[in-house]
Structures are given as C-alpha cells and as structure tokens.
Structure 1
Amino acid sequence: MNERKLPTMYGLAESDPDQNLIKREGVSPEALEQIDRIMAEMGRMRRLEREIMRNSQSFMKLNETDMRALRMLISAKHAGTAVTPGQLARYLGISSASVTKMIDRLIEGEHVARRPHPTDRRSWCIEVTGPTHLMARQQVGRHHAQRFEVAREFTDAEREVIIRFLARTSDAMEDSMNGAQTALDDQGKEPEAGQS
C-alpha cells in the first residue's frame, strides 16, 4: 500500500479541531497520525462500497432494498433454506404490502420466482433466479473474493486484532447511535411532575 495522506471528513483536524468530541491529551503525534490514517482508510472503504453498490444497482436496474433482498435470498439458497415473503419483510424491515409489491416487481424483472414452500403446502417461498444469481456473483461476489484474499494475507494474530477493532468499532457506533436516539426520545418527552 502506498503511503499517502487521504483527505477525509473523519480526520481529527478537519472534524474536531477544537477537541470538543475527542480529547487528545496523552496521545502521541505518531499515534494521532496513525489513527487519522485508519479513519481515512475506513472512509475510503465506505466510499468504495457505496460506489460498488450503486454500480451494481444501476447495472441490475434495482434499488437498495431490492439488492438487500437478493443478497438474503442468495445466502438462503446457499444454505438450502426456503424464504417466505413474511421472513423477507421482517429481514428488510418493511411491511407485508411493501414486500408484496417488491416481489411482484422482482418477478416481473425475472430476478426472483415464487415456488411452493418445500415443507408447508399453504405457503410460498421466494427464490432468486439463476441468471440473477450469476449476475450478482459477477457484480458483487468478485469484490467479496478480493476481501477474502486480503484477509488471508494476515497472520491469525493480526486477524484477531482486526476482528477486535472492527467489532469494538461497531459496538461503539451502535452505542453512540442508541445514545443519540435516547437523547432525541428524551427531548420529545414532557417533564414529569416536580421536574423542570
């Protein structure tokens, strides 16, 4: 990897010059520079992931929810699991009516097919079609394969550090998101009697 300064909104100098959010006491300049590089590379990876997703959506003429549905259906197919419309709706966090419209649209585009459920005669399952499965593998799967190759280059110990970093980062972001939601919820509440 070439050493270069990546412009990023996540850099400490750009995002928090007055240290209102991130106190930097006791952190060496070298450590700060390294952390900035980590944040810049994470930002670059997110940007590339968004670009890959936009390109795939455009190529396949699908929206983000459609792509999430297809990824779920492809994973289920690999696992040998039947997926009902209700399961798909819950996974996507959308209503039954919305999932029905989406499935109808995907069937019309020949991306998915309705099939009788293999174990429940009263139910239907949704499956990704062969051509769409192949197209998704060509469009998105090759990027996953590249990630695998990069991960394979590291030692077991290095991968454990990467796993710990990613897991702790995700946990911290989740906590931050939940804290922000709690603060928003608290702002909307009426003060209880005796409080001001």
Structure 2
Amino acid sequence: MSTHTGLSHTLVGFPGAAVEFVNVMQRNRERIGQNAELSPSELRALFRVAAEISVTPKELARYLDMTTAAVTFISRRLVDAGLLHRVDHPNDRRSLYLELTPQAHEMMAEVHRDFVDLLEAATSELSAAELDTFTSTLQMVARSIVRISTSPGSAVAGNLNGAGNLNGAGNLNGAGDESGAGNLNGAGLVSSTHL
C-alpha cells in the first residue's frame, strides 16, 4: 500500500527554468549517445578528447572523475569502434595520448552542426540583443556555479556536491561536457565555445 504525503518537491521561477533547460539538454545528450550507440561515459570521453584534441588517459580519468582502469575500458571500446586512436607520448614511452580518428571528427562535426541548428531554431524568435543577453547571462551563471560549488567550506558547495544532481537534471559538480546536456561545471555547454 502506498502512502503519499501529498508533498511535491519542484522548483519554480529561475531554478525551475534552469532544471527544465538542463533536462532538455540531458535528453539531447541521451539521443546523441543512442544514435551513436555509445554509453553516456563513452560519449563524455569522446567529447572531451574532441575538445582537447589530445589527452592522456590519466587526464581523461581526472576529467570524468573515474579510475584509470575505467577509462582504459572506455578508451578501448572507443578505439575498437574506430572513434579514438592511441598516439605514443613523445617524451614518455610509458604514456600515450588519445585522439579522435577521422571517423570521429566527422561524427563531431555532424553533432555540432545538428546542435547549432537545434539552438538556432529554438532561439529564432529572440532578437540579436536578446540572444546576446541570454548568452552572457548563461555564461555568467555557469561560471558562478563553478565558483560557488568549488569554494572550500561553502555550505552550498557541500549540498551541490553531495547531491550529485538536481532533479535528475545532470550533475552540477561534474567536469562538464559538450554534448548539449548535463553538467554545468568546467568546460561544459554553457561556458564553452564547443559543444
């Protein structure tokens, strides 16, 4: 037997709109991953390598907040899928870099084109001035969230980092990603020029 207390925990105003926006971006990221037959972690890894051009597994593990063993598994799957290739580190024979393959470059270009088209259609009724204001406001809020959520001793940071997500909207304390979704921290959609 279910016992409902009758309390709903939803956000209104700007926080509600932010959750709605992030949820829509999350669904877009999920669609991209499904279309490419990639897991969310594989997609995040691929977007990170695309943004950085060349990244070591250790750097990727730190960015994804995963163990190097987990990143080794993910990168192996992406190499096997023909999306990443390993390049020897020029100064350290024990290390290597991960880089996109030509196939992955084509995929990223298509994803970026589709995302730009989506946002252009979604904002077509905004004037250039409104779009500029929206862009700068979104970037300012994203930078503020990063600053607040990473401030040592911040009660707000503790709550955000402990919660892990906001109403299923994507991590607020993650490393960010460029897939049009999820994380608002780091090099993510709202604070970067790349997807």
By the TM > 0.5 criterion, same fold? yes
Taking structure 1 as the reference length, the TM-score comes to 0.59
> In 2, distance between residues paired with 1:43 and 1:156?
20
Write the distance in 1 (CA, Å) between the matches of 2:108 and 2:73: 21
- Which has the bigger relative contact order, CA under 8 A and spacing at least 6? 2
Deviation at 1:52, TM superposition (A): 0.6
Query: How many Å separate the matches in 1 of 2:132 and 2:31?
Result: 35
- Deviates further, 59-68 or 160-169: 160-169
Contact map agreement 1:52 1:140 (CA 8 A) in 2: no
- Which amino acid in 2 is paired with 1:153? A
Q: Determine the C-alpha separation between the residues in 2 that align with 1:152 and 1:114.
A: 45
More helix by share: 1
- Structure 1 counterpart of 2:99, from 99, 105, 127: 127
* Closer/same/farther in 2, CA of residues 9 and 140 from structure 1, 3 Å limit: farther
CA drift of 1:39 comes to 3.4
Give the TM-score of the pair, scaled to structure 2: 0.59
1:29-70 residue CA offsets vs partner (Å, 9 max, x unmatched): xxxxxxx2x334323211211111110110111111111111
CA-based RMSD: 3.4
- Name the aligned partner's letter for residue 30 of structure 2: R
Alignment match, 1:63: 39
Instruction: Say how many residue pairs are matched.
Output: 146
Does structure 1 residue 178 correspond to structure 2 residue 154?
Answer: no
- The 8 Å contact of residues 149 and 161 in structure 2, kept in 1 or not, is answered as no
Structure with greater Cα Rg: 1
Identical columns (%): 19
- The reply to whether residue 83 of structure 1 matches residue 63 of structure 2 is no
Question: Equivalent residue for 2:180?
Answer: none
Matches within 5 A, 1:1-196: 9-11=10-12, 36=13, 38-77=14-53, 82-144=54-116, 147=119, 153-154=128-129, 158=133, 160-169=136-145, 171=147, 175=154, 176-179=156-159
Residues 56 and 140, structure 1, Cα contact 8 Å, conserved in 2: no
1: distance between equivalents of 2:25 and 2:67?
A: 27
